[in-house]
């Protein structure tokens, strides 16, 4: 290997993720990425091709971390406890930072109209996997739900998490989001 890369790729991707998380795929520019990473625009083009390629790498990292956190949060025997810690995680995830960064998946989903198939696919993947995690949790409850019900409910819960992400963008506080999530869990799982 000759002519060796002068920057740490993991660092660059992690920093790029932060930029995309704050600005979104569409609004983040190559200049933003260059400034944040300290790597010149030209080098980024040379190394990755274009902005979307960088985004896909960053998003994959984000998705893996997000889904792992979701899985961990859901790892409780009691469904109600599992869902509460799940929503806690989700809400902290989107209200973290100052100003809060929001939810990257949701932001990306909203740009679907101007995004490539690859990007749209990643969003669907994350949501699909999240739904599976939730379905497993709901189905595994002792004296459990019928499988079809668990799946339908899982999608409802995923949908509600997306709603929380929108409400966060609309200005609702972490506390308000948590209250809504608590009400939701009580209403849905209490039944």
- Smallest gap from Cβ 67 to a copy of itself, in A, equals 16
36's CB contacts (< 8 A; 6+ apart) are 15, 16, 18, 19
Give the residue among 61, 9, 18, 81 at the shortest CA–CA distance from 39. 9
Q: Within positions 90 to 119, which residues make up the interface with a copy of itself, using CB under 8 A?
A: 99, 102, 106-107, 109-110, 112-114
Q: Give 42 or 144: the residue with its C-beta nearer to DNA.
A: 42
Q: Give 8 or 179: the residue with its C-beta nearer to a copy of itself.
A: 179
Binding mask 9-48 for DNA (x = CB under 7 A): --------------------xxx-------xxxxx-xxx-
Which segments of 40-116 does DSSP mark as H helices, in order? Answer: 41-48, 51-73, 79-95, 104-110
Three-class secondary structure assignment of 54-66: HHHHHHHHHHHHH
Q: Give 22 or 51: the residue with its C-beta nearer to a copy of itself.
A: 22
Number of residues counted as binding a copy of itself (CB under 8 A):
44
């Amino acid at each position: 290997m000759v002519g060796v890369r002068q920057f740490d790729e993991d660092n660059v991707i992690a920093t790029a993720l932060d930029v995309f998380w704050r600005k979104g795929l569409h609004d983040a520019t190559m200049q933003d990425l260059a400034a944040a990473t300290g790597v010149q625009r030209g080098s980024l083009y040379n190394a990755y091709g274009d902005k979307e390629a960088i985004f896909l790498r960053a998003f994959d990292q984000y998705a893996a971390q997000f889904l792992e956190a979701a899985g961990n949060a859901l790892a409780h025997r009691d469904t109600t406890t599992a869902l509460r810690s799940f929503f806690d995680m989700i809400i902290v995830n989107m209200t973290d930072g100052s100003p809060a960064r929001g939810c990257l998946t949701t932001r990306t989903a909203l740009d679907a109209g101007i995004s490539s198939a690859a990007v749209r696919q990643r969003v669907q993947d994350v949501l699909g996997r999240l739904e599976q995690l939730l379905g497993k949790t709901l189905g595994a409850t002792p004296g459990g739900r019928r499988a079809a019900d668990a799946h339908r409910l899982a999608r409802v819960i995923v949908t509600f998490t997306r709603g929380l992400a929108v409400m966060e963008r609309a200005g609702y506080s972490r506390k308000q989001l948590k209250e809504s999530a608590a009400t939701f869990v009580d209403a849905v799982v209490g039944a």
